[in-house]
Structure 1
Amino acid sequence: MNWKKVIAVLVGAVLLFVTGYFVNGAVRGNVYNYDFTLKGESDNWEASFRVIGEERFYKRNGVNQYDSYATDELQLIFKGTDKELAAIKKIHYEYTSPAGSGSTTMEIDESLTDRVFTHSGGGNGAFVREDQIVEVTVEWDNQMEVFELVAED
């Protein structure tokens, strides 16, 4: 066995690892991960709003940089009876927050059997923070309820 080649390969591997570690650290910078759920309810509905996100602060060529990405999911659950659920013919729900909004409208031809309605989104830029309030409005047939989602204690 040629020990010089083995040592050269090991030294090269260590140098490659160390270089990758420092380059990745310089690009990666400070990373903050978020995973939280806001919750709330009204007389007929309960909802949760889950946010999973990441923010990165770093320098590139001596200039401060910022990147972020987050996904969110609003889960809305009807609390009424099966008979009331089956009678719903149209539902519109929306949420608003300091970081944006989303909405869904459904015309229903058949009787509903699923009590859970979901709206998902994601992207770069602003996203809901754990200390913020999300307002939810639900309209179905001739009824409407508005309530807030907040962080759990």
Structure 2
Amino acid sequence: MIKNLGTLLLAGMLSVLLVACNTTTYKHNYTFTGEGEVWSAAYVQKATEKFIDKKGERPDYETSQQSTFELKYKGEQTDLDKIKDFKYIFKGTSGEESKTLEDVNGVRSELKSERSGSGAYEQEDSIIKVVVEWDGKKEEFDLEVRK
């Protein structure tokens, strides 16, 4: 009898907790890809969006995201060794990032940048603009989620 009362009490407490605070989580994990004639890129995002509905209180909202941007050169590494001036920038709805030759410590055939935090993230229909400039040359292309 006491055992049944304890189980009933525990079930009641869990029900109160579930009713008092309801959390809904959405995942926004996307890979954006694109390329030009000389460069290609990918932006991989893993984002989480939580809505916390507290009964009798204002709802709470939390986001977190981790992303990786990877820029690849389609030619030979020996071509990159000659580059004296280099810069790339990528810009989406959640912000932008740029790097110069000094930031990347020399141009390699694959350049990777990672970031994480809370706040804005890219939606599935976002378009990320990429601009690469090197030794007086310039290439622009878009990254999109391929369906």
Q: TM-score, normalised by structure 1?
A: 0.79
Q: How does 1:59-138 map to 2 (within 5 A)?
A: 59-62=53-56, 63-107=58-102, 114-138=108-132
Give the C-alpha shift of residue 116 in structure 1: 0.6
Paired residues of 2:70 and 2:110 also in contact (CA < 8 A): yes
Paired residues of 2:21 and 2:55 also in contact (CA < 8 A): no
**Cα gap change, 1:100/1:25 in structure 2, threshold over 3 Å: closer, same or farther?**
farther
State percent identity of aligned pairs.
Answer: 26
Asked if 1:150 is matched to 2:144, the reply is yes
Once the two structures are superposed, residues 97-126 of structure 1 have per-residue CA deviations (whole angstroms, 9 ceiling, x without a partner) of: 122111111239x975x4110122222221
Paired residues of 1:90 and 1:107 also in contact (CA < 8 A): no
Q: Would you identify which runs of 4 or more consecutive aligned residues in structure 1 move more than 2 Å?
A: 17-28
Give the C-alpha shift of residue 44 in structure 1: 0.7
**Cα gap change, 1:86/1:28 in structure 2, threshold over 3 Å: closer, same or farther?**
farther
Give the C-alpha shift of residue 86 in structure 1: 1.8
What SS does structure 2 have at the residue aligned with 1:87? Answer: coil
Distance 2:37 2:129 in 1: 15
Paired residues of 1:28 and 1:56 also in contact (CA < 8 A): no
Paired residues of 2:34 and 2:144 also in contact (CA < 8 A): yes
Distance 1:21 1:120 in 2: 41
Paired residues of 2:20 and 2:55 also in contact (CA < 8 A): no
CA RMSD after TM alignment: 2.8
Q: Which has the larger radius of gyration?
A: 1
Amino acid aligned to 2:69: L
Give the C-alpha shift of residue 23 in structure 1: 3.1
Structure 1 unaligned spans of 5+: none
What SS does structure 2 have at the residue aligned with 1:43? Answer: coil
Asked if 1:53 is matched to 2:47, the reply is yes
**Cα gap change, 1:57/1:26 in structure 2, threshold over 3 Å: closer, same or farther?**
farther
* Alignment size in residue pairs: 145
